[in-house]
Amino acid sequence: MSLFETEAIVLKTIRLGEADKLVTILTAKKGKVKAVAKGARRPRSRFGAALEPFTHCNVILFDKKPTVLMRMNQADILHPFIRIREDLERIGAAARMVQLASAILPEGEANPKIFSLLQAGLGKVERNDHLEWLVRVFEIRCLKHAGYQARLDHCLICHNELDAKPVYFSPKNGGTLCGSCARTISDPLEFVSSGTISLLRLAARMNWAGLFRLKATPKMLQEVKNVMDAHLTYVIGRPL
């Protein structure tokens, strides 16, 4: 039985009972948790707008016992990311980020790196216009911090350096295969050009400012999207 305070980002809320909300939040201290906010749907609720998706807030949670849902006692907004709500494309980008974080993290396991990544990512969605690239970078880093970083340095079967072309990405192996090894396996593969490989590598480690200066062609962005969609679908076990 304990009462604890933590920073959190709201991932999702669903209506519960007469006027309550069941809120899924990513907390800094205990990772993804679900908590009941009593009366949160009433106009004069003390939670106000703090439980809207994407909100970064400070919450006080009451953890009665492991078998019972946590109760949320208080939520104060730290940053509401209010501009996201004014644009459909921004809402879509932010929704993809919280969906991925929610799908990839198990409940009750703290992951400070993904917490900061999500916080930074939502901040960028609010102000930056390169939404597609932004979402891709988020996906690549989220997989990395969850322990599923793609291995892109050599062929995962013959361990040789990747020669110029052609190179394939194997979602099942979680990395690249050279052309000749790719022919030996029957799993679905994505073709990737060498430019896309470098883009994928940079996205995992470069700082945000540098990433937005990169000039990626629409074709490369499409390849990155294909690779990430396939990889995410494999890791999560369903299309996101």
Residue 44 CB partners (closer than 8 Å, separation 6+): none
Nearest to another protein of 218, 237 (CB atom): 237
Minimum distance from residue 59 beta carbon to another protein (Å):
13
Nearest to another protein of 80, 174 (CB atom): 80
In the block, which residue shows the tokens 């793609």?
150
Amino acid at 51: L
Minimum distance from residue 40 beta carbon to another protein (Å):
11
Minimum distance from residue 17 beta carbon to another protein (Å):
6
Residue from 45, 46, 54, 63 nearest 25 by CA = 54
Nearest to another protein of 85, 154 (CB atom): 85
Residue from 191, 187, 195 nearest 178 by CA = 191
Minimum distance from residue 136 beta carbon to another protein (Å):
18
Q: Are 75 and 215 in contact (CB under 8 A)?
A: no
Q: Are 25 and 10 in contact (CB under 8 A)?
A: yes
Minimum distance from residue 78 beta carbon to another protein (Å):
9
Nearest to another protein of 22, 156 (CB atom): 22
Report the interface residues with another protein, using CB under 8 A: 12, 17-18, 43-44, 46-50, 52-55, 76-77, 80, 82, 85-88, 91-92, 95, 98-99
Alpha carbon distance 218, 205 (integer Å): 21
Nearest to another protein of 44, 65 (CB atom): 44
